């Protein structure tokens, strides 16, 4: 996502990373999910190239983050791969906080969206939305399906949704710069599915088998 937004000239005033055991564990999960696909340069390398300050906090909450933001007069905060964040942070920037979610909203909220999408035969894609105090429940800006081709693996689907999430964030920032958010923002509506948690190994086995057997309901070919 950072590479996508930088490619369009959107340079952050600051990047705040989480430095924790849980953060490291989540990073390893994402890397495992997209194994075999190309990885973007590190945040540190990209930040150095664009002269963006990077600070680390033990957790992304108001107590840890707000001291780094106060006095900056931010118009917008962009989340990328964070855990659930609530409270004062969401109210601080003038025009809100946005996030890109690697799943279609409102159908697939929460974690491991590609896995649950295959498991429940939900179309696969990504969404960019405003952040509120719920989990992936804020107003939508953009959402887009990805074409699922027979033979794609679970890792391929995870990679494609992450790439699309970055592209949608870039497009959302372009729309912001052009003053078009009021034209594209909309309520999410309700979902027939619950907010999903991380998929267990048993769920992933079912997902991989459906992809091998090509019984997922939303192939594009």
C-alpha–C-alpha distance, residues 137 and 24, integer Å: 26
| Secondary structure class of 168 (helix, strand, coil) | helix
**pLDDT confidence bin for 122, thresholds 50/70/90:** very high
CATH of domain 2-213: 3.40.50.12230
User: Phi/psi at 128 (nearest 5 deg)?
Assistant: -115, 130
User: In whole angstroms, what is the distance from residue 5 CA to residue 213 CA?
Assistant: 37
**Domain map (residue ranges) of the chain:** 2-213
What are 27-51's pLDDT values in tens digits?
Answer: 888 888 888 899 899 999 999 999 9
- Kindly state the helix (H) or strand (E) to which residue 214 belongs, with its residue range: none
pLDDT (mean) for 143-151: 97
Q: Between residues 36 and 202, which one has the greater pLDDT?
A: 202
Give the DSSP per-residue string, 174-204. Answer: HHHHTT-HHHH-B-----SSPPB-PPPHHHH
- The string of pLDDT tens digits covering residues 79-88 is 988 888 888 9
pLDDT at 46: 97
Q: What are φ and ψ of residue 55, in 5° steps?
A: -125, 155
Region 142-146 average pLDDT = 98
d(CA 200, CA 115): 10
Q: Report how far residue 161's alpha carbon sits from residue 45's, in angstroms, rounded to the nearest whole number.
A: 23
Q: Give the whole-angstrom CA distance, residue 32 versus residue 129.
A: 26
Q: CA-CA distances (angstroms) from residue 198 to 36, 110, 142? A: 21, 8, 24
Strands 54-57 and 15-18: parallel
Q: Whole-structure pTM over 0.75, yes or no?
A: yes
H/E stretch holding 91: helix 88-91
């Amino acid at each position: 996502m950072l590479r996508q937004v930088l490619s369009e000239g959107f340079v952050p005033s600051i990047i705040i990373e989480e430095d924790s055991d849980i953060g490291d564990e989540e990073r390893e999960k994402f890397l495992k999910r997209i194994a075999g696909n190309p990885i973007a340069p590190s945040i540190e390398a990209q930040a150095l190239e664009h002269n963006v300050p990077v600070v680390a906090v033990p957790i992304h909450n108001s107590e840890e983050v707000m001291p780094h933001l106060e006095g900056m007069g931010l118009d917008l905060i962009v989340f990328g791969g964070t855990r659930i964040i609530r409270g004062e942070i969401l109210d601080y920037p003038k025009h809100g906080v946005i996030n890109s979610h690697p799943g279609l909203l409102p159908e697939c909220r929460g974690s491991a969206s590609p896995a649950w999408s295959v498991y429940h035969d939900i179309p696969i894609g990504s969404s960019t939305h405003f952040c509120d105090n719920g989990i992936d429940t804020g107003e939508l800006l953009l959402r887009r399906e990805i074409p699922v081709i027979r033979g794609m693996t679970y890792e391929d689907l995870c990679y494609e949704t992450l790439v699309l999430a970055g592209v949608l964030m870039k497009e959302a920032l372009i729309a912001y710069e052009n003053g078009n958010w009021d034209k594209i923002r909309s309520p999410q509506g309700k979902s027939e599915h619950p907010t999903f948690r991380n998929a267990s190994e048993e769920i992933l086995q079912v997902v991989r088998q459906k992809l091998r057997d090509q019984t997922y309901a939303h192939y594009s070919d």
